Amino acid sequence: MLYGKTNQPTKETYRLIIATIIDSEEDIYFLSNIDGKELDCEQITEVYKKRWQIEVFFKFLKQEFNFKHLLSRNENGIQVVLFSTLIAAMLVLVYKQANQIEGYKMAKLRFMNDLEVEILKKTVELCQGNPHLLDCFTIW
């Protein structure tokens, strides 16, 4: 019997699904309120597996790309930050694979360093070595 916030038995019906990890033969337990008519046991375990992959991915974004503190509270602002973070994550992933780098932290650090060097090179090229020429590129 499951109890809710008011210490009363819940009115929902739950299913206990036991799945076995093939490699380790370890059992995993899922408690679901999805009716057996909607999805069978295999489908429910796949849903939870995909959900777990999403959780791991967001943990990665939070740890590696500081996707913890949102500067905006409106939908558009959150989407901009999310998409920018996803683009940065993809760029680092491609850079990591192209340069055969083991860890994400090292890949991110090397990517940022290489990007900074390329920006500096382009800046010097645009101003032809004269830093005063940068003033003509200032927007404000």
In this prediction, what percent of the chain has a pLDDT beyond 90? 33
Residues 65 and 76 in one domain: no
Q: How confident is the model at residue 125 (pLDDT cuts 50, 70, 90)?
A: confident
Q: Give the model's pLDDT for residue 108.
A: 93
Domain residue limits at 49:
1-69
What total number of domains does the chain contain?
A: 2
Q: Last residue of a domain, which of 69, 93, 116?
A: 69
Q: Of 69, 84, 103, which residue sits at a domain end? A: 69
C-alpha Rg value of the chain to the nearest Å: 25
Residue 78 has pLDDT above 90, yes or no: no
Q: Does residue 116 share a domain with residue 60?
A: no
Q: How confident is the model at residue 138 (pLDDT cuts 50, 70, 90)?
A: low
Helix 104-126 to helix 41-65 angle (10° resolution) is 50
Q: Is the pLDDT of residue 123 over 90?
A: no
pLDDT tier for residue 54 given thresholds of 50, 70 and 90: very high
pLDDT at 29 over 80: yes
Residues 6+ apart with CB under 8 A from 27: 18, 19, 20, 21
In the predicted model, what is the mean pLDDT of the chain? 86
